[in-house]
Amino acid sequence: MTSQEWILIDTSQQIYLNNWLLTKEEFPDLPENISIEKMRLQGGYQDGVDLLKVNSGQMELLICPTRGMGIWQASCNGVQLRWNSPVKGPVHPNWVDLYEPSGIGWISGFDEWLVRCGLESNGAPEFTSEGQLKYPLHGKIANQPAEKLTVSVDLEQKEIVVKGLVREGRLFCNHLTLEVTYTLPFNQPSFQLTDKIENPSASDCDLELLYHINTGEPFLQAGCELVAPLAKIVPRTPEAAEDLENWSKYSAPKAGQPELVYFTQLIADKDGYTPVLLKNPHAQQGIQVSFQRKTLPYFVLWKNLNASDNGYVTGMEPALNFPNPKSFEKQKDRVVSLAPKETYITEMEVTVASNAEALKSLEDTIQTLAKKTEPIIFQKPDPEWAAL
């Protein structure tokens, strides 16, 4: 048998596997250094959270079906893809009050490496004229549990495929489904992500989407740098404008540092993909995110260079729209309207460089792409892109 699939969760069939393990012992044709394990965490805020640990030989992902199929943490050849959030998770969505009056309840559960923001909205919280919360910070999808989770191993293609189905919607309201696919080639320092968002309803539905990909210590440190094929950049705030010349550089953690956010458009390669590289020149390591620009036309850089105990972290954020209040994004025509049964597909690949040669190869490719155009640099927030 060259391919086999296992159903770990399927609410339509009342299938739920609490703990499950796949190694060479259970599947004799599987390479010895590859394993997949599902576990359910217990105690504290993580009680009841499902995690799927996928080890493809070089890349290891901790996928969280309970939290919108995000990636809690990952590692590859000793490179850590994670950050030290003051929130100690993964936090079960039951403890995250998205609709608390402040509108920022979302951050009570924020400690993933890769988390999706969306789907009905994904920006700053927005309130009605009476002060009632209309759209909470970063949307709801990251706190919705998967209703289906499958794992397949293809020995001929030499890959592991993880699929999850997540639903966001209410009666008489916006209703969307998210089908997540993670593909991990055997013994490669990379994985692919494909998301298919569908409107299953009989009415048009709004879609906003941003991938919050967060890296902190031990990878992030003073001297790190973002390498990107920049076409246009706009600082989101006056504070970001003041530090514009250092937009791609990272200083050491310092208490009291303000958040800095930059909105950008990047250059795509001949296949329509845009690569962005976070590099650590001291360790000669890098984390590259390459995404299809047609469906993710924008890139947001978030820098929180605060004290380590306050969450020293940067976010690489491919996006369908900017994380402004939804009404602002709708006015600027950056909210997608999906017709009944229409789908929207996004694609990206994450590659990790764990040595100088691999890092140089990734960086050289981006630098060649960057030379194709002179970037447009705004010295202050642009009211077309940033809600002031």
92-108 pLDDT, tens digit each: 999 999 999 999 999 99
pLDDT at position 156: 95
Token pair listed for 33: 């250094």
Token pair listed for 5: 């699939």
Dist CA 186 CA 62 (whole Å): 16
Q: Could you tell me if 304 and 251 are in contact, meaning their C-beta atoms sit under 8 angstroms apart?
A: no
Q: What is the C-alpha R_g of the chain?
A: 20
Residue 342 pLDDT more than 90? yes
pLDDT digits over 145-180, tens only? 999 999 999 999 999 999 999 999 888 778 999 999
**Residue 169 forms beta bridges with which residues?**
175
Considering Cα of 166, then 169, then 385, then 332, what sign does the dihedral take? positive
pLDDT at position 307: 97
The pTM of the full predicted model, rounded to 2 decimals, is 0.97
Q: Could you tell me if 241 and 379 are in contact, meaning their C-beta atoms sit under 8 angstroms apart?
A: yes
pLDDT digits over 193-238, tens only? 999 999 999 999 999 999 999 999 999 999 999 999 999 999 999 9
**Sequence ranges of the domains in the chain:** 3-377
| Coil vs helix vs strand at 250 | coil
CA 190 to chain centre: 15
Fold of the domain spanning 3-377: Beta-galactosidase; Chain A, domain 5 (2.70.98)
Over the chain, what is the mean pLDDT? 97
Spatial neighbors of 359 by CB under 8 A, at least 6 apart, are: 279, 284, 285, 286, 353
Q: Which residue has the higher pLDDT, 2 or 76?
A: 76
**Maximum CA pair distance of the chain?**
63
pLDDT at position 2: 82
pLDDT digits over 235-279, tens only? 999 999 999 999 999 999 999 999 999 999 999 999 999 999 999
| Coil vs helix vs strand at 177 | strand
Dist CA 125 CA 378 (whole Å): 25
Q: What is the mean pLDDT of residues 53-78?
A: 98
Spatial neighbors of 353 by CB under 8 A, at least 6 apart, are: 79, 189, 279, 284, 285, 286, 287, 288, 359, 361, 362
Q: What is the mean pLDDT of residues 338-367?
A: 98
By DSSP bridging, strand 376-377 and strand 230-235 are parallel
pLDDT at position 171: 80
Q: What is the mean pLDDT of residues 46-62?
A: 98
Pick from 372, 316, 322: nearest CA to 348: 316
Pick from 85, 104, 78, 108: nearest CA to 96: 108
Residue 1 pLDDT more than 80? no
pLDDT at position 173: 78
